[in-house]
């Protein structure tokens, strides 16, 4: 008999399904040509919502060590994301008075995409990144980086070395640590008494409103509302004093936290306003989560309907990008080379490999010019403006762009 899953934050039994996307491989486990005929592990993508704290979560089917020790995602391949990082450093430097006497620590610092802008300004910086292959790229850029998973133990080791952060940040990492209590406890330990934490994560309210189910994959254990994030931080002595709504990743939040005992920073009206908006949208009510699964099924039907029609008309379809979200979408919809000839990606680490599960080949973007597809399906739709601008030349032969989320849309 299967034991009931428990909430990874509050420990309550999980009775309620948010969405079940069936079985899927790890979304960053790209397949080499030598591995094509070998068995590939698939795991459930069954997401539940806690009836007590309303944390939307995926069970820990896979040890994070197996996911993040070597990782295929490098942040610096998106120029939009680099600009986002540079703007953040400028904002934080001005707002928090960072200078040569400060220490900025980024958790899950990837390839140094953000901290390089601190280093350029002469602000001492330290990255903490579990994927050795990615951390090495950051070190080559001159960004001091420790190859470790972050949590209470790592924070205590750094504190024992005399390190404490004036600014402690993490972008798109809060969802990726199954022991959420250990992680936030570590943030509390590493933060200076007057220091500030900023964390960015995709906003659950936007995910639900815009049907962004493809952002669900095994690397993402959690999907946060502001209300639930506030509860989690408060449980560890941290107060959210400000919040910004960002356009990144289809709609994200940047939360600002301080030690609860540090009352020098007042809680912003934006905190009260967003909390009220989430209450009005039904975030703290279980019945609000019920219709999401049906919206997901309808998106699948519409995408398959478009691809079937395109193929019957003799049209060719290629993909752009090989992101994690694309792998969730393609595996859930059962899209393989019968519908998508290939995909391309700017990341050389992925080129020459095949997408997990679907085994769609990944090429250099030059392949688009060689084959002149009728449609280009943009899998990282959160960067659609950047991608359509870079590949505007497909219009020369009548090529069109296709965005799959929240529902199929063709851009001539």
Strand order in the sheet with 375-378: 362-363, 343-344, 317-320, 375-378, 400-403, 409-411
Instruction: Give residue-wise pLDDT tens across range 151-188.
Output: 999 999 999 999 999 999 999 999 989 899 999 999 99
For the chain, first and last CA: distance in Å?
53
Asked if the bond preceding 43 is cis, omega within 30° of 0, the reply is no
pLDDT value of residue 381: 94
- Nearest alpha-carbon partner for 171 in 129, 121, 207: 129
What's the CA angle centered on 367, arms 379 and 332, to 5 degrees? 25
What pTM does this model have?
0.88
Least reliable range by pLDDT among 2-16, 58-72, 181-195, 212-226? 58-72
pLDDT value of residue 214: 94
Q: Assess whether pLDDT exceeds 80 at residue 140.
A: yes
Q: Assess whether pLDDT exceeds 50 at residue 35.
A: yes
pLDDT value of residue 328: 96
Q: Assess whether pLDDT exceeds 80 at residue 3.
A: no
Q: Assess whether pLDDT exceeds 90 at residue 8.
A: yes
Instruction: Give residue-wise pLDDT tens across range 306-318.
Output: 999 999 999 999 9
pLDDT value of residue 80: 85
Name the pLDDT band for 73 (thresholds 50, 70, 90): low
Mean pLDDT on 122-145: 95
Q: Assess whether pLDDT exceeds 90 at residue 136.
A: yes
Q: Assess whether pLDDT exceeds 60 at residue 1.
A: no
- Rounded Cα–Cα distance for residues 74 and 363 (Å): 17
Which is it for strands 222-223 and 56-58: parallel, antiparallel or unpaired? Answer: antiparallel
Instruction: Give residue-wise pLDDT tens across range 229-282.
Output: 999 999 999 999 999 999 988 899 999 999 999 999 999 999 999 999 999 999
Name the pLDDT band for 74 (thresholds 50, 70, 90): low
**By percentage, how much of the chain surpasses pLDDT 90?**
87
**By percentage, how much of the chain surpasses pLDDT 70?**
95
Using CB atoms within 10 Å of the CB of residue 23, give its burial: 0 to 12 exposed, 13 to 18 middle, 19+ buried: middle
Tell me if domain 75-287 and domain 292-411 are identical in fold: yes
> What mean pLDDT value characterizes the chain?
94
Instruction: Give residue-wise pLDDT tens across range 370-395.
Output: 999 999 999 999 899 999 999 999 99
Instruction: Give residue-wise pLDDT tens across range 79-104.
Output: 888 999 999 999 999 999 999 999 99
Q: Assess whether pLDDT exceeds 80 at residue 63.
A: no
Name the pLDDT band for 27 (thresholds 50, 70, 90): confident
Most distant CA pair in the chain, distance: 66
Q: Where do the domains of the chain lie?
A: 75-287, 292-411
Span 292-411: which CATH code? Answer: 3.40.50.720
Specify the CATH architecture of the domain 75-287.
Answer: 3-Layer(aba) Sandwich (3.40)
Q: Assess whether pLDDT exceeds 80 at residue 32.
A: yes
Q: Assess whether pLDDT exceeds 80 at residue 75.
A: no
Q: Is 352 helix (H, G, I), strand (E, B) or coil?
A: coil
pLDDT value of residue 291: 87
């Amino acid at each position: 008999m299967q034991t009931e899953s428990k909430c990874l934050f509050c420990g309550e039994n999980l009775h309620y399904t948010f969405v079940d996307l069936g079985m899927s491989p790890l979304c960053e486990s790209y397949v080499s040509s030598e591995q094509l005929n070998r068995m590939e592990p698939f795991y459930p993508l069954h997401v539940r919502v806690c009836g007590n704290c309303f944390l939307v979560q995926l069970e820990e089917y896979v040890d994070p060590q197996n996911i993040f020790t070597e990782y295929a995602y490098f942040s610096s391949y998106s120029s939009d994301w680099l600009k986002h990082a540079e703007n953040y450093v400028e904002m934080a430097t001005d707002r928090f008075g960072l200078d040569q006497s400060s220490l900025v620590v980024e958790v899950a610092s990837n390839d140094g995409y953000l901290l390089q802008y601190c280093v350029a300004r002469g602000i001492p910086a330290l990255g903490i990144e579990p994927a050795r292959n990615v951390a090495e790229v950051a070190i080559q850029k001159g960004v001091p980086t420790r190859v470790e998973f972050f949590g209470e133990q790592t924070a205590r080791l750094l504190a024992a070395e005399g390190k404490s952060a004036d600014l402690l940040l993490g972008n798109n990492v809060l969802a990726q640590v199954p022991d959420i209590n250990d992680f936030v406890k570590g943030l509390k330990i590493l933060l200076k008494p007057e220091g500030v934490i900023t964390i960015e994560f995709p906003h659950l309210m936007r995910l639900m409103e815009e049907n962004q189910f493809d952002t669900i994959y095994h690397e993402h254990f959690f999907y946060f509302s502001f209300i639930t994030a506030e509860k989690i931080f408060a449980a560890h002595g941290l107060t959210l004093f400000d919040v910004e709504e960002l356009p990144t990743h289809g709609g994200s939040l940047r939360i600002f936290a301080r030690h609860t005992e540090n009352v020098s920073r007042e809680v912003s009206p934006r905190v009260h306003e967003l909390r009220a908006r989430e209450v009005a949208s039904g975030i703290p009510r279980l019945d609000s989560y019920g219709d999401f699964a049906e919206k997901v099924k309808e998106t699948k039907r519409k995408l398959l309907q478009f691809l079937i029609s395109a193929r019957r008309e003799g049209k060719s379809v290629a993909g752009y990008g090989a992101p994690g979200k694309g792998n969730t979408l393609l595996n859930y919809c059962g899209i393989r080379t019968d519908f998508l000839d290939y995909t391309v990606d700017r990341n050389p680490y992925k080129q020459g490999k095949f997408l997990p599960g679907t085994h769609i080949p990944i090429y250099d973007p030059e392949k688009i010019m060689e084959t002149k597809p009728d449609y280009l399906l943009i899998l990282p739709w959160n960067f659609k403006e950047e991608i359509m601008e870079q590949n505007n030349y497909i219009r020369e032969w009548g090529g069109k762009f296709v965005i799959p989320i929240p529902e199929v849309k063709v851009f001539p």
